[in-house]
Amino acid sequence: MSHTNTPHVLILGGNFAGLGSAQAVRKYAGKDVNITVIDRKNYLLYVPNISTEIFESDHPELEKNLTMDLPSTLAKDNVNFIQGEVTGIDVNRQRVKFNPAERPGAEPQTIEYDFLVVSVGCELAYEDIEGFAEYGDTVSDFYHAKKLFKKLTEDYHGGNIVVGSALFKQGDGAIGLQPYPGGSIPSAKAACEGPPVEVSLSLANWLNQHGKGGPDDITITTPAEMIAEDAGEDVVTQLLEAASSMGFKYVNNTGDIKRLTEHTIEYENGQVINAEIKILFPNWKAYDFLKNLPIADNEGFIVTDLYMRNPTYRNVFAAGDCAAVTVPKLGAIGHQECDIVGRQIAKDLHQLSAEKADVSLQPVVFCIGDMGDGKAFYIHSNSWFGGPEQKLVMGHVPHFLKMQYKRMFMNNDGKVPPWGLDVAEVLAEKIAV
Ligand SMILES: Cc1cc2nc3c(=O)[nH]c(=O)nc-3n(C[C@H](O)[C@H](O)[C@H](O)COP(=O)(O)OP(=O)(O)OC[C@H]3O[C@@H](n4cnc5c(N)ncnc54)[C@H](O)[C@@H]3O)c2cc1C
């Protein structure tokens, strides 16, 4: 045990997966465990609603509506918070190196752990797309979302808009896992394609409302055979039929995004599409400090079994986007993983029986995407992993759920009560549209 006799759980990263893991460890392991979260920033960034905020409001208030203070939220569960930049992990000596990050120039520090949870997410590798800085746009953080909003409102007067993803370079860390009988963790060509679908639909509505165009002006591209393949073939077929009847253009099998110029986007397969605006989602890449660690796969994602535990270093866990098994990179799957991490650590600490703790990951894609005009699409599917579900609902109820889910998350310190998801399921699938 570290410093005291009380076991120390150290959690790296404090966004969805880090906060969720800290709360799950406290919930299942009880009070006799010290928990520390380290994050370079001291707030949670509610990424999934950024595009809704800019496309549904004439005066988006991103900071006000989509951030949550981390230290005070964690303190409610007696979890310590350190604002620091993690720079290295020594799994043999059970130590993590970090630089305190409140002010630049701080000296490196080390901290010891008994259990480690890696939940640092991924780098969104926009800098790997040539020309992105000059000609690219996105909605994965406030800076870029504001830049896009300004461009659309002030500079855009018509012309093609491309919404698409770069190629995802997935590692080999989840090969052989079988989450459902006969299933697998699939190999994905795009890291997360709910966002491009959502952005396309809600942007079309925004263009329409502002007299600047509509679906005809938008081309959706994917490096994969089929966009959002995690949703399942039936769901995607329905989505594509709906999108093409609205007038969207759709291009698949593009390969990676090669280059952006002022008026074009070029793909690995040689295709060049004219585009005045390019709203893109990049490769989700593991951080450099994770690469070559004995717990990482060939791309730097953390290797775990379906109990989110590293097979070699049994006191090391991962949750969220940085875990090799998290495919696609979806907050909803990370949410399922946090609960598993909490149960496993509680089991090791003899606070939970193996019977209650050993619930393995069966990933489910829950995705609610804004379509504008008070409507949204709701996807509930596990077929990509070998499960039986494939449901799609479109309409006003899913939109209501998307907004309610965020409100519930923010008002309950990120603790979405289990009934929250069940209610969402019942409302969307049984009562909608
Ligand atoms: C535009 C967009 C829309 C999305 N919409 C949805 C959606 O509708 N539904 C859904 O389920 N998912 C959605 N996702 C995916 C979802 O946002 C991610 O799956 C989720 O954020 C992953 O959570 P995480 O905690 O694993 O990683 P992150 O949210 O990336 O958090 C990682 C944390 O680790 C910290 N960190 C990283 N490196 C270090 C370091 N070296 N030192 C200290 N701290 C560090 C970061 O500051 C950050 O707080 C969307 C993603 C995008 C980009």
The tens digit of pLDDT for each residue in 400-409 reads 988 888 999 9
Residue 201: how many CB atoms within 10 A of its CB? 30
Read off the pLDDT of each residue in 134-153 and give the average, rounded to a whole number: 97
CB 99 within 8 A of CB 106: yes
Q: Which of 84, 90, 92 is nearest to 109 (CA)?
A: 84
Whether 129 and 261 map to the same domain: the answer is yes
Q: Which atom of ligand 1 is nearest to the CA of 369?
A: 8
| Residue 1 belongs to a domain | no
| Residue 197 belongs to a domain | yes
Whether 334 and 384 map to the same domain: the answer is no
Is the distance from the beta carbon of residue 89 to the nearest atom of ligand 1 less than 6 Å?
no
| Residue 294 belongs to a domain | yes
Is the distance from the beta carbon of residue 364 to the nearest atom of ligand 1 less than 6 Å?
no
Q: Identify the band that residue 1 occupies on the pLDDT scale cut at 50, 70 and 90.
A: very low
Is the distance from the beta carbon of residue 194 to the nearest atom of ligand 1 less than 6 Å?
yes
Which residue is listed with tokens 């949550």? 68
Give the single-character DSSP code of 128.
G
Residue 399 has pLDDT above 70, yes or no: yes
Read off the pLDDT of each residue in 310-327 and give the average, rounded to a whole number: 98
Whether 294 and 384 map to the same domain: the answer is no
Is the distance from the beta carbon of residue 18 to the nearest atom of ligand 1 less than 6 Å?
yes
Residue 91 has pLDDT above 80, yes or no: yes
Is the distance from the beta carbon of residue 193 to the nearest atom of ligand 1 less than 6 Å?
no
Pick the residue whose CA is nearest to atom 30 on ligand 1.
121
Q: Is the peptide bond before 328 cis (omega within 30 degrees of 0)?
A: yes
Read off the pLDDT of each residue in 171-191 and give the average, rounded to a whole number: 98
What the block records as the tokens of 300 is 């730097």
Whether 237 and 384 map to the same domain: the answer is yes
pLDDT, averaged across the chain: 94
Domain region containing 166: 124-284+363-431
Percent of the chain with pLDDT over 70: 95
Over its C-alpha atoms, the chain yields an Rg (Å, rounded) of: 21
**314 or 424, which is more confident:** 314
pLDDT computed for residue 420 by the predictor: 58
Distance 32 CA to ligand 1 centre (A): 29
Pick the residue whose CA is nearest to atom 28 on ligand 1.
121
Residue 417 has pLDDT above 80, yes or no: no
193, exposed or middle or buried, with CB in 10 Å at 0-12, 13-18, 19+?
A: buried
| Residue 2 belongs to a domain | no
CB 322 within 8 A of CB 286: yes
H or E element in which residue 367 lies: strand 365-372
Q: Identify the band that residue 221 occupies on the pLDDT scale cut at 50, 70 and 90.
A: very high
pLDDT computed for residue 301 by the predictor: 98
| Residue 260 belongs to a domain | yes
Distance 15 CA to ligand 1 centre (A): 6
Read off the pLDDT of each residue in 129-150 and give the average, rounded to a whole number: 98
Pairing of strands 375-381, 390-395: antiparallel
**Among 357, 385, 415, residue at a domain's last position:** 357
Residue 98 has pLDDT above 90, yes or no: yes
Q: Identify the band that residue 327 occupies on the pLDDT scale cut at 50, 70 and 90.
A: very high
Distance 320 CA to ligand 1 centre (A): 8
Q: pTM of this prediction?
A: 0.96
Distance 96 CA to ligand 1 centre (A): 21
Q: Which of 126, 98, 119, 87 is nearest to 291 (CA)?
A: 87
pLDDT computed for residue 421 by the predictor: 62
| Residue 257 belongs to a domain | yes
pLDDT computed for residue 207 by the predictor: 97
Is the distance from the beta carbon of residue 41 to the nearest atom of ligand 1 less than 6 Å?
yes
The tens digit of pLDDT for each residue in 264-283 reads 999 999 999 999 999 999 99
Q: Which atom of ligand 1 is nearest to the CA of 332?
A: 11
Give the single-character DSSP code of 225.
S
Whether 263 and 308 map to the same domain: the answer is no
Pick the residue whose CA is nearest to atom 41 on ligand 1.
86
157, exposed or middle or buried, with CB in 10 Å at 0-12, 13-18, 19+?
A: exposed
Residue 72: how many CB atoms within 10 A of its CB? 11
pLDDT computed for residue 53 by the predictor: 93
Percent of the chain with pLDDT over 90: 90
| Residue 3 belongs to a domain | no
Distance 45 CA to ligand 1 centre (A): 8
Whether 346 and 385 map to the same domain: the answer is no
Least confident of 51-55, 82-86, 321-325: 51-55
Whether 182 and 330 map to the same domain: the answer is no
What is the C-alpha separation between 94 and 313, in angstroms, rounded?
10
Is the distance from the beta carbon of residue 217 to the nearest atom of ligand 1 less than 6 Å?
no
CATH of the domain at 141: 3.50.50.60
| Residue 316 belongs to a domain | yes
Give the dihedral sign, CA 25/26/32/33: positive
Residue 432 has pLDDT above 70, yes or no: no
The tens digit of pLDDT for each residue in 352-370 reads 999 999 999 999 999 999 8
Phi and psi at 37, nearest 5°, equal -110, 135
Whether 94 and 112 map to the same domain: the answer is yes
pLDDT computed for residue 57 by the predictor: 87
Whether 280 and 290 map to the same domain: the answer is no
The DSSP secondary structure of 2-49, one letter per residue, reads -SSSS-EEEEE--SHHHHHHHHHHHHHH-SSSEEEEEESSSEEE-GGG
Residue 349 has pLDDT above 60, yes or no: yes
What is the C-alpha separation between 228 and 265, in angstroms, rounded?
21
Which residue is listed with tokens 């909605």? 139
Distance 268 CA to ligand 1 centre (A): 27
Q: How many domains are there within the chain?
A: 2
Phi and psi at 227, nearest 5°, equal -65, 150
Whether 12 and 86 map to the same domain: the answer is yes
**Among 333, 357, 381, residue at a domain's last position:** 357
Is the distance from the beta carbon of residue 189 to the nearest atom of ligand 1 less than 6 Å?
no
**Among 357, 380, 399, residue at a domain's last position:** 357
pLDDT computed for residue 416 by the predictor: 84
HEC profile for 295-351? CECCCCCECCCCCCECCCCCCEEECHHHECCCCCCCHHHHHHHHHHHHHHHHHHCCC
Is the distance from the beta carbon of residue 40 to the nearest atom of ligand 1 less than 6 Å?
yes
What is the C-alpha separation between 378 and 392, in angstroms, rounded?
6
Residue 10 has pLDDT above 50, yes or no: yes
